[in-house]
Amino acid sequence: MGWFFGILLNIGLSLLVGKWASSKGRNGLLWFLFAVVTTPLISSLALLVVGDRQKYLDY
């Protein structure tokens, strides 16, 4: 039963990472999949490093 909660928590946090990536102008689906394959923590840190895409498009 504990593994089931872990899987649900991982998917839920991965959804939040995808939504956050989408709000930064990134592809939310790809970031969601990246979070599922790695971990939401690693993908969140990677998203912080790559930054906001919209900021670079406004010249």
Give the span between the Cα atoms of 18 and 16, in whole angstroms: 5
pLDDT at 45: 97
Q: Tens of pLDDT along 13-57?
A: 999 999 999 999 999 999 999 999 999 999 999 999 998 876 666
* Domain hosting residue 39, numbered range: 2-57
Question: Residues near 4 by Cβ (< 8 Å), separated by ≥ 6?
Answer: none
How high is the pLDDT of residue 56? 63
Counting the structural domains of the chain, the total is 1
Q: What is the pLDDT of residues 16-27, one digit of tens each?
A: 999 999 999 999
Q: Where are the alpha helices (DSSP H) in 1-59?
A: 2-23, 28-37, 40-50, 53-57
Task: Give the pLDDT score at 26.
Answer: 93
